[in-house]
Chain A
Amino acid sequence: MMDFTTNRRSLLASSLALGAAGIALPRMAFAQSAGTRKFLFILLRGAADGMAMAAPLGDPGYDALRGSARADYEGARSLDAMFTLHPAFENVGAAYSEGDALIVHAAATSYRERSHFDGQNLLETGAVKPSSTSDGWLNRLTAMLTEESGAPPPRALAIAPTLPLAMRGSAPASSYAPSALPQASDAFMERVGLLYQDDAQLAGLWGQALETQAMAAGDTLRNLRDARAAGELAASLMREDEGAGIAMMELGGWDTHANQRGAFARNARALDALIGAYRSGMGSSWRDTMVVVATEFGRTARYNGTSGTDHGTAGAALVLGGELRGGRVIADWPGLREADLYQARDLKPTIALENVLAGSVAEHMRLDPSRTLAHLFPGRGGAAMSGISRG
């Protein structure tokens, strides 16, 4: 791997040298990060079941809806009198006990239909109407941090092959994913840079790719399938001062319409391994780090005819961090009686997920909460949630 490292670093140096020689290079995607605050957003695509993540075993209505699942939580970590954490979440549970994790339950965005694609679109753009905005709230957060502090923008990085919608927009952002392909030769890559010099789009992408490659020079992974290794990779790309300040990852497979039990356990285990590896990988930077895990919507409160759950409404979000007021579940619990359910089928939303997201980043990044909410999730009433972090 030494060779790879040298290659990537030397290549970056040579591309910069060419830039100095007057060849149009794109504006650098990353400048030196202003602060050391780190924020990682993990999007669970496919609508993760909040009632499986933190099961409301204390609700008298639970057994009528999901009695057969109760045994799965035997011996699992009880979060409070109402909720029990899914047993797959060992690392998350440990963080919860140490005050470094909290769960927000019965939360949903303003979206009330049941399409994954529109739901994810709203959660990523922060808009009120699907496909009405083409930039994402994490990108606007990057821009906002620059405007507020006057400092260069923090490095924004998606640990994914391409930029997810939440990170797209006018502020610079890059993406990185490990690859099994042998790296191209320096000679070829230099020529690619020259070939692209008149092409604004390709030159921009190429410049960002080279920078990110240099940043990930020590990476020996072949792909992102190993959740623990992916968590370690994320930490290695973020923990240094000059590492990424804002990052995003995506995990799929949560659309559990049939035989949910095993599938959810496996997915949860992967998420937990990722979070555990990330938290320990951040080392002393964990103090300045926040992780938010969210999904587009929840799932039906009762099991369907194939031991799974269909698209629902409210779900759960997970917040972790080194200076969290953790160890609690934040919920205005709607209850599980037939009349308590949204449209007699879904967990009823009582907390706006947008307020949780805006409140979390505002406190963590020391931004004004109401300006943050208005900027990242415009057009909504209510206020950003406060008291998530001790910061």
Chain B
Amino acid sequence: MTSRTSIALNRFGYGLALGDNVPSDPVRYLRGQMDAFDPAPLAIRTREDMSAKPGEILELIRTFRRQRQSRMAETGEDRSTAMRAIMEGSGANDPLAGLPPELRSSYMRAGRWLRRDVGLRTNVAIASETPFIERLVHFWSNHFSVSAQKPGTHYLVAGHEFDAIRPNVLGTFSDMLKAAVLHPAMLMYLDQFGSIGPNSRFMQSRQGMRRRRNGGVPRGLNENLAREIMELHTLGVDGGYSQVDVTELARALTGWTIQGLRRVGRFGEPQASGAAFVSIVHEPGARTIMGRRYEDDGARQALVMLDDLAAHPSTARFVATKLARHFAGDVPPKSLVARLEQNFLETDGDLASLTHILIDSPEVWANEPVKFRQPYEWLVASLRLAGIDALDENRIAGALDAIGQVPWRAPSPAGYDDKEASWAGPDALFRRVELAERIARGARGDDVLARADAAFPGALSDHTRTWLSRAESGRQGFALLLVAPEMMRR
């Protein structure tokens, strides 16, 4: 059994922060957060702009490759020798082995920068007075998942959430879609930035012809982003699109790339998402997606397609299902899905309106816990409850790595899974227990029972209360609270 106050705190939000008052009116508490939400809190507003970094890194890699090629030409070394060198030089343990020092240290700096951003994001969530909206930000950030894997992306993934998701979290789905999938981080992550129209002016040009004739790097279409937009961001896998539609979207997306590449140079027209559009690599011609024809008007061709994908009934169903699953349980109540879906269609995907539906839906206020907390959620709630803020970024990143959910490092473009079976494992539980004892060591150990009652008002079981009160020290009691059933589920 839980209570409405506990649901507002824990199912909707990131739990009570130490020293905060227990909200007296759960619904007003949640609605108030929609007004109070700050898309750009100070730490985010004053974050250094690193958007030029990926271009620099890619140019560094290009230089490195060119040097290697000319060395190969000079020494008569062939590709198979080079392949052997890749494999003999690099230990399986060190992905950076064999790289020139300049590139190597650039990758290391990128890794440090990512940890800084992970720490920044997490400290914002820990200190937040609008934890419900932070949860929504992190939900959408995971829906439009970008992962720092490729060189250069480490600098961009946080910006993707801060610039594409946060300002749109209570805006419209179609604005968020365009900002998120055309953000430089996504263009790099899903290989869009190098995709070139096979019949584009560039490919017809002397440079393009020469490149093809020389048997150099083949250049052309890459359909990775187009497929994931349809499968993961909008329609869903059974949303009614075909391979032909994927290829058509991929063709329309050609030209969308990142700024700061030397080869793009003066051709790049800056776009609202932070991307560049290079019309000479855009595949010319009208395209057809799911029976609808799109004239070729350069960058706008893909934007119009994205607007239509955002408004598609399959998208409404897909987004409604995911939201319902996140807030009302792994098997989302059909009535809630239907209500969200209908609202999405009626309001053209107005996310504030969907948020109101969530607050007003009885299915989200079900009495029993509906979800197993994901590791990130559990850690943020634990640190809020412990009153630990402005925690060192390396410790935050290390803790998240140990429990298996570092933001912007999801294993696939589908983001982190949102079902219990992916998280409620024996080993995963063991890690939380280990971490809980560590967190408690740096936290206050007094008044544990009172703090437990405040964190789960009217929802603390007698059993948990008994074992908290029997703890051999205050700190042990607090560590137990962090791993109690009330803390593991919401």
* Chain A contact residues, CB within 8 Å of chain B: 29, 45-46, 68, 71-76, 87-88, 113-118, 130, 134, 160-163, 165, 168, 174-177, 179-185, 187-189, 191-192, 194-196, 198-199, 201-202, 205-206, 208-209, 212-213, 223, 225-228, 252-253, 255, 257-258, 261-262, 265-266, 269-270, 273, 303-308, 310-311, 343
Contact = CB atoms under 8 A, between A and B. Distances in A.
A305 B196 contact: yes
B276 to A, nearest CB: 17
Contacts of A162: 404, 421-425, 427-428
Interface in B98-138: none
A29 B198 CA distance: 56
9 contacts: A68-B215, A71-B80, A161-B428, A182-B438, A191-B467, A201-B424, A228-B93, A257-B222, A266-B95
B93 A195 contact: no
Contacts of A265: 83, 86-87
B221 interface: yes
Contact of B221 (A87, A199, A304, A311): A304
Interface of A, secondary structure class, is loop
Nearest to A229: B93
B124 to A, nearest CB: 24
Contact of A189 (B218, B411, B433, B470): B433
Interface string B459-490: 00001100100111000100110011100100
A343 B243 CA distance: 10
A188 B219 contact: no
B93 A191 contact: no
Contact of B431 (A74, A181, A269): A181
A191 B464 CA distance: 11
Given A257-B190, A265-B83, 10 more contacts: A116-B412, A117-B412, A161-B427, A202-B488, A205-B429, A269-B90, A270-B92, A304-B220, A311-B227, A343-B243
Given A68-B218, A192-B480, A305-B219, A74 B437 contact: no
Given A46-B412, A226-B93, A161 B467 contact: no
Contacts of B471: 191
Instruction: Say whether chain B's binding surface is mostly helix, strand, loop, or mixed.
Output: helix
Interface in B209-235: 215, 217-224, 227, 231
A303 B218 CA distance: 8
B404 A168 contact: no
B414 interface: yes
B221 A252 contact: no
A175 B434 contact: no
A78 to B, nearest CB: 14
Interface string B380-403: 000000000000000000100110
Contacts of A115: 227, 231, 237
B222 A161 contact: no
A310 B433 contact: no
A75 B85 CA distance: 13
Contacts of A192: 433, 480, 483
